[in-house]
Structure 1
């Protein structure tokens, strides 16, 4: 056993998906908590090696929700600890807000729901080998402060991945989503699939065999390098 990683989810029945499975495969114990259901956040990061904050249907602007407010107030403790923080979708948007950025819907009402192409920035070439097609499910995006380094962009939501300092990362896309999760999401929220820019349910499922293996490979490499797990075979570098 390597250590313990805190995984924060936002709904009853939510789980860390593939990211959680990969972390356990690497030898970590995962502690899954849901502040939106009243779970307490730790007072310090002493017992944890890293924090992963996942997505959810709420907004990073929902400060009236006790769970979201608690997370926004707590994230600076993680940053001060120097332990790795990885925010996925809502988790990335909350990190952006904490750092002084903004979170808002697209000015033309567009969404990214389905598989979307992203392009690394010059700084992002240390993290992405080249353009990737990734899985998305969001209607809001972030506008980052100058203290953050943008690592990837897309056509609709320009800022897709970023780094803050040495150990804090945010990605707008969903590396954790498995095929079963895609089926649950598309069948459970059909009203999202008619929004401007959303892809039909069959496209989510039909494109999985083509685009998911490279995304899984990237996720494994990113986690391994982020956490310093030996034997991660990749040219991916998190230096800089």
Structure 2
């Protein structure tokens, strides 16, 4: 029986990110769903072994305007109850944090991160991130660390970059799933962000991208291999 990873996306970008690549190369069936566009999330079943909730443009506290966020919150709770691995990226991390009672929203600084920024492990996150690396970022909201979670990483502008709940649930503010091709699309579609405080210029992004992408990919694939161990052939 092929094991499934449920991937909840919040846009129509091509599914060429590193999560999909890892899944298809390691024996999983990636089930890509877009609840914001009407896709229904299936009930939990024995063939579902993990889930990833991607970033997106939605404010996670706007459930009244975007009822699908309630469906995704219900899915997060199902994953927690079933004790399966779960990764929230950017908006997805904020959704997990909100479900666990943490505050989510724009920081008082008003700063944005769009580019490649260094993140550093906290003392408790040394096993998670042994050394400082540059990672792709695109956001202007943040999350507080949920009660009982482990704070794993920070950046200069956004102290809360990663957390872990238990041993199988992670939230990332950054985007290690994003390839160079994916970031190029962001540069074209998010040009209005370049005027915001904290955002790197396109020239800075281009230079850092070439230096950072391979290291980011290496780290993230190793992380995914631990969170979602490769499936043996049937």
Q: What's the TM-score, normalizing by structure 2?
A: 0.93
Following superposition, the deviation at residue 14 of structure 1 comes to 5.0
Following superposition, the deviation at residue 112 of structure 1 comes to 1.0
The alignment yields a C-alpha RMSD, in angstroms, of 1.5
Q: SS in structure 1 opposite 2:184?
A: helix
Question: Contact 1:121/1:151 (CA < 8 Å) preserved in 2?
Answer: yes
Map 1:1-240 to 2 at 5 A: 3-15=3-15, 17-64=17-64, 65-229=66-230
Question: Contact 1:110/1:197 (CA < 8 Å) preserved in 2?
Answer: yes
Question: Contact 2:2/2:47 (CA < 8 Å) preserved in 1?
Answer: no
Following superposition, the deviation at residue 2 of structure 1 comes to 5.3
Runs of 5+ consecutive residues of structure 2 not aligned to the other structure: none
CA separation in 2, counterparts of 1:194 and 1:24? 38
Q: SS in structure 2 opposite 1:180?
A: helix
Q: SS in structure 2 opposite 1:169?
A: strand
Question: Contact 2:9/2:55 (CA < 8 Å) preserved in 1?
Answer: yes
Q: SS in structure 1 opposite 2:24?
A: helix
Deviates more, 1:198-207 or 1:136-145: 198-207
Q: SS in structure 2 opposite 1:207?
A: helix
Question: Contact 1:9/1:16 (CA < 8 Å) preserved in 2?
Answer: no
Q: SS in structure 1 opposite 2:47?
A: coil
Q: How many residues align?
A: 230
CA separation in 2, counterparts of 1:160 and 1:173? 7
Following superposition, the deviation at residue 27 of structure 1 comes to 1.8
Following superposition, the deviation at residue 176 of structure 1 comes to 1.0
Q: SS in structure 1 opposite 2:69?
A: helix
Q: Residues 46-84 of structure 1, C-alpha deviation per residue, up to 9 Å, x if partnerless?
A: 331100000001111121202222212321111000000
Q: SS in structure 1 opposite 2:126?
A: helix
Question: Contact 1:182/1:205 (CA < 8 Å) preserved in 2?
Answer: no
Q: Which gives a bigger RCO, structure 1 or 2 (Cα 8 Å, sep 6+)?
A: 2
Q: SS in structure 1 opposite 2:136?
A: strand
Distance 1:229 1:50, change over 3 A: same
Q: What's the TM-score, normalizing by structure 1?
A: 0.91
After TM superposition, what 4+ stretches of structure 1 lie above 3 angstroms from structure 2?
none
Q: Residues 6-33 of structure 1, C-alpha deviation per residue, up to 9 Å, x if partnerless?
A: 1110123353612211221112110000
CA separation in 1, counterparts of 2:144 and 2:16? 25
Q: Residues 107-141 of structure 1, C-alpha deviation per residue, up to 9 Å, x if partnerless?
A: 02101111111110122111111111111000000
Following superposition, the deviation at residue 228 of structure 1 comes to 2.6
CA separation in 2, counterparts of 1:132 and 1:205? 16
